[in-house]
A and B are shown apart, each in its own frame.
Chain A
Amino acid sequence: MGLAVKKHPVAIVIYVVLAALVVWLFLALWPQWLIAAIGPKKVFVNTIFNGVTLAGLYFLVASGFTLVFGLMRNVNLAHGSLYLFGAYIGYEVANWTGSWLLGVAGGFIASALIGVLLQIFVFRRMEGDDLRQTLVTIGISIVGADLMLAVFSGNTYQFTVPALFDGAIATPIITAVKSDGASVVMMYPLYRLIVLLAAVIIGIALWLLLNRTRIGMMIRAGVDDRAMLSASGVNVQMIFAIVFAIGAGLAGFAGVVGGTALSIAPGEDVRYLLASLVVVIVGGMGSITGAAIGALLIGLAEQIGLAYFPTYGVVLTFVIMVVVLAFRPQGIMGRAA
């Protein structure tokens, strides 16, 4: 600690000031000039909360995408379709059993199964041929989207949030003080915080799986040298199938969790495919940490754009991507190709 202060005194001071500023923005009552400049505090805090919880959802989708790419160099452009498929199956299961948790499990398992089938029947057949793999997954996503439209129609589906997670909770953030002196506390939907919590748990679990378990060791070895891993007696195809199942399953899981927070409808597959693409391009392909950073940046940018300059919100996301590409083509946490 002392060494770091000595080494980068200016940077440390800037970080501390910035952190203090952020804490102050959240906890203090805003003075009039600040409200005049960027609007009421409630909008700001809400936007940041929405951004961070959306980032949680983006992380759930993108982590599977980046996991598959990291090990197998497979760009699965059908990842959005897996998201939507998991959401639909999860909805049916939840409807049928009456249990939302079983719906989540159903979404995970259904997408994981499709993922394993994809790995066995598509990717294994075209190993090393990136372009063909990409094209095939594009074809699958076209057909998949159309078939899902045929089966589930163009209606919007809405999960019922389980009673345990429903409603809003009071946050310790005071947004304003009424004229009679009572303070107004910000309320926030509990479910969105649960999504964020789920993302954090999944993120930590993935990190532990990759860095602290035997199978994680094999996966990391496979990333570095697939042939050597195979030569040392590991069934590489088995590892690939497992990783693909986890990656695809996470997309289905995110489908149910995200579909509960927002809704499920045709076209969501493209939206989440795009989100995963941008998140991993910004964060760096193949890196779980990168996916977290990218999701946070993109989630915040999207919500801030939506709240403060609605028409140009998309452009903000795009600008982030351009800036990252201009300075680090491999993404923030990516390794040079």
Chain B
Amino acid sequence: MTLLDSKSLATALSGPTRRLPFDAGYLLLAIALLLYPMVASPFFTFQIGGYTLILGTIALSLMVLAGYGGMVSLSQMTVAGIAGYSIAIFGTNASGVMGLGWPWWVAVPFAILIGATASALIGMLAVRTAGIYMIMITLAIGTAFFYFVRQNYAFFNGFNGFHGVNAPTVFGIYWRDPVPFYYLSLAIATFFFVAVSYMARSTFGLSLQAIRDNPRRMRAIGFDVAAHRVFAFFLSGVIAATAGVLLVWFNGQITAGTVDVNAAIDVLVVAVVGGLRKPIGPYLGALLFALLQNFAIDLIDPERFNTVIGGVFLLIIFFSPDGLLGLWERIRTTTMSKSLRPALRRKPSK
């Protein structure tokens, strides 16, 4: 009797054993996301849905580094920007600078490769240090890139950047129309979400997490710590760069402002507010960010958006270090323990 009780209690506490992150909740979420454009207006599909997925994917690239690797990088937006600039430079743009006119199926993989390589190079520099030093170095790199593109007119068209960078028309569909763009972003976001979830359980992902927890021990048992970290930067670079290509298509342009310090910090805000422990966190943060960005105007003075988002960020850090995810888990544990309370109370009387 006690055996049965404690067993059922254990099941109730830990939930059903999950081997993959695809339980009923995720299935429902997937269906909801697929059906979303049918109920939502084009504005909600594109400006909220599409933007959340892009921003979430960029933040996901930070989550891979920070959550699994323990390396907080502020240069994720820079990587996305490098890929975005590559698209404008190698593809076509309406600014009359560069624009080599490569077809999209050459330019896109090339841009992603450039972005990921840049990320690996940033990683090579950054992994020489750790913790707060790494934040400062990646921030310095990101800011240097911003000032560089803003001043360089020969390659990056300076302050004005590139406009008229259009998404391609494939299979007769113009991929920047709200619904196709939403599904494109959803497909890419889902792909990276699943890939990151898989990566976390792969040998590499486990080694990376072990390195995060104790680099000295991992070095002692023969792991190349620096190489793992640089490879993590490369993988996260692939994610950020792909999202960067989407971001250029979403905006139809890329300027120095896309990669400025505020943008770099926004990525960190999104990832931290969402939660860095699971891949779903960045998307939660991105949703909140996109909603605030679009609707804070109705609540308060539109000029004070940064105060609102900064305030939310501060509240989350002060009260829930694990972000919205941590908040959600805390609520779930309290409600769960409440529903368990009668059962616990009954136990001694039996």
Contact between chains at A270 and B154 (CB < 8 Å): no
Q: Does A321 contact B (CB under 8 A)?
A: yes
- Smallest beta-carbon distance B104→chain A, Å: 30
Contact between chains at A143 and B144 (CB < 8 Å): no
Binds B, one of A94-102, A249-257, A308-316: A308-316
Contact between chains at A138 and B144 (CB < 8 Å): no
Question: Chain A, 127-155, contact with B by CB distance < 8 Å: what is the 0/1 string?
Answer: 00011101110111011011101100000
Complexed CA–CA distance, A149 and B306 (Å): 10
Complexed CA–CA distance, A140 and B148 (Å): 27
Chain A, interface SS category: helix
Q: Which residues of A contact B333 (CB under 8 A)?
A: none
Contact between chains at B265 and A325 (CB < 8 Å): no
Contact between chains at B314 and A314 (CB < 8 Å): no
- Among B151, B265, B307, which residue has its beta carbon within 8 angstroms of that of A146? B307
Q: Does B41 contact A (CB under 8 A)?
A: no
Contact between chains at A281 and B140 (CB < 8 Å): yes
Complexed CA–CA distance, A145 and B262 (Å): 11
Contact between chains at A131 and B129 (CB < 8 Å): no
Q: Which residues of A contact B307 (CB under 8 A)?
A: 142-143, 146-147, 150
| Chain B stretch 127-159: residues in CB contact (< 8 A) with chain A | 128-133, 135-137, 139-141, 143-144, 147-148, 151-154
Q: Which residues of A contact B303 (CB under 8 A)?
A: 149-150
- Smallest beta-carbon distance B100→chain A, Å: 21
Contact between chains at B144 and A281 (CB < 8 Å): no
- Smallest beta-carbon distance B29→chain A, Å: 28
Q: Which residues of B contact A150 (CB under 8 A)?
A: 303-304, 307
Contact between chains at A140 and B131 (CB < 8 Å): no
Q: Does A248 contact B (CB under 8 A)?
A: no
In the complex, residue of chain A having the shortest beta-carbon distance to the beta carbon of B272: A135
- Smallest beta-carbon distance A68→chain B, Å: 12
Contact between chains at B314 and A315 (CB < 8 Å): no
Contact between chains at A270 and B152 (CB < 8 Å): no
Contact between chains at A132 and B317 (CB < 8 Å): yes
Question: Chain A, 305-337, contact with B by CB distance < 8 Å: what is the 0/1 string?
Answer: 000001111110110011001100100000001
Q: How many residues of B contact A (CB 8 A)?
A: 41
Complexed CA–CA distance, A310 and B131 (Å): 34
- Smallest beta-carbon distance B118→chain A, Å: 13
Contact between chains at B136 and A313 (CB < 8 Å): no
Q: Does B313 contact A (CB under 8 A)?
A: yes
- Smallest beta-carbon distance B298→chain A, Å: 18
Q: Does A278 contact B (CB under 8 A)?
A: yes
Contact between chains at A131 and B310 (CB < 8 Å): no
| Chain A stretch 35-62: residues in CB contact (< 8 A) with chain B | none
Q: Which residues of A contact B139 (CB under 8 A)?
A: 77, 274, 277
Listed in ascending order, the chain A residues whose CB lies under 8 Å from chain B are 73, 75, 77, 130-132, 134-136, 138-140, 142-143, 145-147, 149-150, 270, 274, 277-278, 280-281, 285, 310-315, 317-318, 321-322, 325-326, 329, 337
Listed in ascending order, the chain B residues whose CB lies under 8 Å from chain A are 72, 125, 128-133, 135-137, 139-141, 143-144, 147-148, 151-154, 261-262, 265, 268-269, 272, 303-307, 309-311, 313-314, 317-318, 321
Q: 5 tightest CB-CB pairs across the interface, nearest first?
A: A142-B310, A143-B310, A146-B306, A139-B314, A329-B128
27 A-B pairs with CB atoms under 8 Å apart are A75-B135, A131-B132, A134-B72, A134-B132, A138-B269, A139-B310, A139-B314, A140-B310, A142-B265, A142-B306, A142-B309, A142-B313, A143-B306, A146-B306, A146-B307, A146-B310, A270-B261, A274-B140, A274-B143, A281-B136, A311-B151, A314-B147, A318-B140, A318-B141, A321-B140, A325-B128, A337-B133
